[in-house]
Chain A
Amino acid sequence: MSAPSAAGQPPPMVKAERVHKSFGAVEVLRGIDLEVRAGEVCCVVGPSGSGKSTFLRCVNHLEKISAGRLWVDGSLVGYRQRGDRLYEMREREVAAQRRDIGMVFQRFNLFPHMTAAENVMEAPVQVKGLGRAAARERAALLLERVGLADRMGAYPAQLSGGQQQRVAIARALAMEPKLMLFDEPTSALDPELVGEVLDVMRGLAEEGMTMLVVTHEMGFAREVGDSLVFMDDGLVVETGPPRDVLAAPRHERTRAFLSAVL
């Protein structure tokens, strides 16, 4: 089954309908409705513990949702529907679905036993079966694009946080994803290194990449974001164009949060 959409329109890149997620007795997501169109940059903000990261992890099935429906590019995430029964996908199908969704983590999660180039080459070679020479060429291009052409042979431990995060972005791009997920990509960085990562993300947005970004960088959300989602306590409180939400929040909870962080 594909996501419900108006006739003739392409399906939204991400569509969430009353998505719930519980860890044991704790309900982290309590009914998320959200839509990200292709080519759109959607920024998700909110206090810590509001479920932003959990929702992001549901989008590529690192977490299983407990209720509701979640589609990426028109197909259900992690399940197949036949009639009105849901079937869990096999591991291989889930992996195939994740190939088209890039993810960048707060703590980079680069593979420490591989050089920057090897990190970028790993998935194209292992998953897509690309030849090593071709993969290396591509890795060189991608690392050049994030401004690290001269650090191909460096191990993650030899790179600064900002450089590591840029390698992580290149690694995700190597699979040519149609959607990029960013989980607080600058939160673990020293303040002076935040800019270089945001610059790379800005460049990606300008090239038309669809991005779902969990962030605390309100400036980035305002300038680059097409839409802003404010989450609190497992619910979407407010959503709209970033300038409007940031300048004139409609809900009391949004106002309180923004006055605390801005």
Chain B
Amino acid sequence: MEAAGAGPGDGLKKGTAADRVPPEAIRAVPVRHWGRLVGALVVLALLVLLVRAFAGADTIQWDVVGEYLTHDTVVEGALRTLWITVVSMALGVVLGVLLAVMRLSDNQVLSGVAWGYIWFFRGTPVLVQLFLWYNLALIFPILDLGFYRDEMNDVMTPFLAALLGLGLNEAAYMAEIARAGVLSVDHGQTEAAHALGMSRTRTTRRIVLPQAMRVIIPPTGNEFINMLKTSSLVSVIQYEELFRAGNIISSRNLAVMEMLLVVTVWYLALTTVFSVGQYYLERYYARGSQRALPRTPWQRVRTNLGTFRTRSVVRKEETR
């Protein structure tokens, strides 16, 4: 400051050269978080103990785990798990969206029926529903659709029972998720589309659903991952998926824990792959909702590499 008596405001008004020089950057000693450090060390120590306990347990034959990880029966089981999950989810999503549309309809009969469906399928355990479908022959020994007639026991294969049990149950949950998504879209959007002369169907398809997707996708991804795991239940109705494949092998080689670990690894791998897929799907539907899209992990890695490089350059210049 050139004038000793000048107040802070005076300097601003004059805009002297001295004021335009930015003040020195703050270089303070950061607060040390000792508690955090101790906590981290304790947790790490416990983790090491846990890993050592498993790795050192000579009751687990790790070579068996490794050997069966890619065993044909296991791989086939994993593929079946994937298949039943995908088709059940597909059935659940399609039927769920239909039910959501019915529930939102002005038609009292349609919305009432949809409500009843959700009430029943959400209100009973999937395990019970699976057995109900599997044992349907006890009520209807013969399936007679007029144009098609067969023994129910031949029609209701483990696969079909699993598909109906999982898919119809899922539809009840998907209906509520889709309905929440549609309700989350501002009513002004529908009005703006109508004011432009767009029909109701077109408004739903072009304006409402794309915006509802942002709300629908995260819980749907959650449902998908849940379904990957819930599908292990269908082992009780003889569908030979991953969990049952593991059981079949362990009943032969008696390596119960080893086969459970093999199955665990597979489930984790499957859910991981789908979590990554969900991330990118969410990113796609987030366009327009934020000023800039969040960066993908890969983009983040690349920019971080970039900053490392510039940081080291800066450091070199500083030392010069």
A binds B: yes
Partner-B contacts on A (CB < 8 A): 60, 62, 91-92, 95-96, 98-99, 101-103, 105, 107, 109-115, 122-123, 126-127, 155-158, 171-172, 175
Say whether B189 faces chain A, with CB atoms less than 8 Å apart: yes
Question: Cβ of A127 and Cβ of B196 under 8 Å apart?
Answer: yes
Q: Out of A62, A109, A123, which one reaches B197, CB within 8 Å? A: A123
* Further pairs besides A62-B195, A113-B288: 5, Cβ < 8 Å: A105-B191, A123-B197, A123-B198, A126-B202, A158-B291
Contacts of B191 in A (CB 8 A): 62, 105, 109
A132 CB → nearest B CB, Å: 14
Which of B194, B197, B206: most chain A Cβ within 10 A?
B197
Say whether B211 faces chain A, with CB atoms less than 8 Å apart: yes
Bound CA span A111–B289, Å:
10
Question: Cβ of A101 and Cβ of B195 under 8 Å apart?
Answer: yes
Contacts of A109 in B (CB 8 A): 186, 188-189, 191-192
Interface CB pairs A-B, < 8 A, 30: A62-B191, A91-B199, A92-B199, A95-B197, A98-B195, A99-B196, A99-B197, A103-B195, A105-B191, A109-B192, A111-B211, A112-B211, A112-B288, A113-B210, A113-B285, A113-B287, A113-B289, A122-B206, A123-B197, A123-B198, A126-B202, A126-B206, A127-B196, A155-B288, A157-B288, A157-B289, A157-B291, A158-B291, A172-B195, A175-B197
Q: Is the interface of B mostly helix, strand, loop or mixed?
A: helix
Say whether B200 faces chain A, with CB atoms less than 8 Å apart: yes
Contacts of B194 in A (CB 8 A): 62, 95, 98
Contacts of A110 in B (CB 8 A): 192
A188 CB → nearest B CB, Å: 11
Question: Cβ of B196 and Cβ of A96 under 8 Å apart?
Answer: no
B191 CB → nearest A CB, Å: 6
Bound CA span A156–B189, Å:
13
Say whether B290 faces chain A, with CB atoms less than 8 Å apart: yes
Question: Cβ of B196 and Cβ of A171 under 8 Å apart?
Answer: yes
Q: Using a Cβ–Cβ cut-off of 8 Å, how many residues does chain B contribute to the interface with A?
A: 24
Task: Report if A156-B195 is in contact (Cβ < 8 Å); known contacts: A91-B200, A113-B211, A126-B206.
Answer: no
Name the residue on B nearest A114 (C-beta).
B288
The 5 A-B residue pairs with the shortest CB-CB distance, nearest first, are A99-B197, A109-B192, A123-B196, A103-B195, A109-B188
Name the residue on A nearest B196 (C-beta).
A123
Bound CA span A157–B290, Å:
7
Task: Report if A98-B192 is in contact (Cβ < 8 Å); known contacts: A155-B287, A157-B290.
Answer: no
Say whether B207 faces chain A, with CB atoms less than 8 Å apart: yes
Contacts of A122 in B (CB 8 A): 196, 198, 206
Bound CA span A103–B291, Å:
26
Contacts of B290 in A (CB 8 A): 157
Bound CA span A42–B239, Å:
72
Contacts of A172 in B (CB 8 A): 195-196
